Structures are given as structure tokens and as C-alpha cells.
Amino acid sequence: MEIALATPVVSLTPGAHAPWEVSAGPAELVEVARAADRLGFDYLTCSEHVAITPDEQPGLGSRFYDPLATFGFLAAHTTRIRFLTYAVGLGYHHPLEIAKRYGTLDVLCGGRLVLGLGLGADRVEFDLLGVPFEGRGRRGDDALRVLRAALGSTGPISHVSDHFTFGDVVVEPSGTRRPPLWIAGGSLQSLDRAIALGDGWMPSGSLPAARIARLLAAFDRPPGFRVVLPVPPVDPVADPAGTAEALAARAAAGADVVVVAPRHTSLAHYLEQLEALRQVADAPVGSRS
């Protein structure tokens, strides 16, 4: 089972971030990324919100680093860790824009990109951006078809549909190959979408693990299909056994990748938690304590 880290600093979720993150910036992010890279973690994550209104800040927070810029910066400071958008809003962009921008990122980071994509669920943000909220599911499916054709393409592509129509265009660069497309969502429809048009599923953290396991049991996973599940906040330094149990519970629910957010009170404490999390994850089953 692979481990993705919910990268600190890049977003400030009310009630979940540590005070030190408020004033932290690029220097602290580089320390986190280098430590995660050195310790062998699999992914760093970054989510996307373009604009947040004051009314939404108590629930969402106000800080969301742009994943494209963030990962482009961190790629220059790391060598092996991969970068997972968790998640880019399909409804906010034309799919050819996503293909060009993230295809370029994939080239610059040496093929270390995984594109996590969601429809977008914030009606206020859709309104702010002048994008229709209704029908976003069908538009999202169509955008995924465009992305599957455009990312990693070597020649002209064309597409005709109700939402996107273009003929014989070249997107270059478009990635070292087609980056995996992992689909975010909290419904059965998102799992259907992931199986039909993606390479993995990132269900909402609000879905109970037992329900996720039941949903997955009803489907045959395509070869290479990945399931990404968040882990509740853990404290591997103070509670390695509880951390191991949390990881094991997500594995039992069907996770191939877990997204972990260790509790922490400072940058030094966060880095200490990463060391302890690596030890927990590497310990043989039955020996964790």
C-alpha cells in the first residue's frame, strides 16, 4: 500500500491545520518535500480552489496553493516522490488547458505526475468563475475523454461533442506519457466514472469505510486501477499502534493508496512524525507497537 502525504502549508483547513503553517511558506515546503522524498513516501498532494468567498472561509479556509505552481516548484527540490492533485476541478477549466499545463508539468518533473480530478462541488465557486454548475457531470465526462486523447499525444487530435469541439490540434508538450487519471467523488456515480474513464478512484473522506468496501466489492477493478482513501489524523510518534491500525483499516477497506495527515505542532514535529510514520509503515504486520 502506497502512502500519500496531505502536504502541510498549501491549504489551511479550519480546525485541522497547525498554527505554524499560517506563517510558513516555500522554505518550509522544501524541507517537507525533501524529507518525504528521502524517506520514500510515494506522493505529495495539493488541492485546488480558485476563489473562496468570506462566507465559505469558516468551513473551507482561505488558502489554497495552486497545484500546478506548487508541484513545479517542488519538483526542482526532489528526485523520486510523485505529485498528486487532490483534486483539480474539471468544471473550472477547458480540458485542453489542463492537458497543456499539466502535460508540461509532467515533462518538467520527469513523469512524476498523477492527475486527481473532480467535478467540483462548490456552487459559489462555479458562479464566481462564470461556469454553469448544472450539467457538470456530463461536461466532466466529456472533459475526461478529451484528456485521455490529449495527454501524452504525439499528433493532432480532434473531438466533437455538445461541450467541446475542435479539429486537428496539437498539444505539445502533453506529458511524458498519459499521467494516471484518478477520479475524486463521494458517490456511486464517481466510481462508475472512475472505472469507465479513469485509472483510479478517490472517494470522499465523508464516506464510511464500510460503504466504500461494499461499493468496491460490487465492481471488478480494471488492471492497475487504484483506490485512494484518506486516513483520519494520526500520531505515529505518540501512538504507533493506533497509526498502524488506521493504515490497516484502510487497507481492509480496499485502499491501494492512503492519504495521511500526521498531527503536528511545528515543522520540526512534523518532520519527526514523518520519520515515525515511515517506521510504522515499514514494520512487519504483527510487530507494530
Per-residue pLDDT for the chain (289 aa), expressed as one digit of tens each?
999 999 999 999 999 999 999 999 999 999 999 999 999 999 999 999 999 899 988 889 989 999 999 999 999 999 999 999 999 999 999 999 999 999 999 999 999 999 999 999 889 999 999 999 999 999 999 999 999 999 999 889 999 999 999 999 999 999 999 999 999 998 889 999 999 999 999 998 777 878 888 888 878 888 999 999 999 999 999 999 999 999 999 999 999 999 999 999 999 999 999 999 999 999 986 555 5
Which pLDDT value is given to residue 158? 97
Nearest Cα residue to 249 out of 278, 208, 190: 208
Alpha helices in 130-219 (DSSP H): 136-150, 188-197, 209-217
Asked if the structure places residue 216 within a domain, the reply is yes
Which pLDDT value is given to residue 285? 64
Asked if the structure places residue 288 within a domain, the reply is no
Report the CATH number that the domain containing residue 80 is assigned in CATH.
3.20.20.30
Asked if the structure places residue 289 within a domain, the reply is no
Question: Alpha carbon of 81 to those of 11, 42, 71, 91, 110: distances in Å?
Answer: 20, 5, 11, 28, 11
Which pLDDT value is given to residue 287? 57
Which pLDDT value is given to residue 10? 98
The total number of structural domains that make up the chain: 1
Point out which residues pair with 185 in neighbouring strands: 203
Asked if the structure places residue 245 within a domain, the reply is yes
| Structural domain containing residue 189 | 2-282
C-alpha cell at 151: 495527454
Separation of alpha carbons 6 and 21, rounded Å: 13
C-alpha cell at 185: 467523488
Asked if the structure places residue 99 within a domain, the reply is yes
**Are 225 and 255 within 8 A, CB to CB?**
no
Asked if the structure places residue 287 within a domain, the reply is no
C-alpha cell at 117: 480530478
Asked if the structure places residue 243 within a domain, the reply is yes
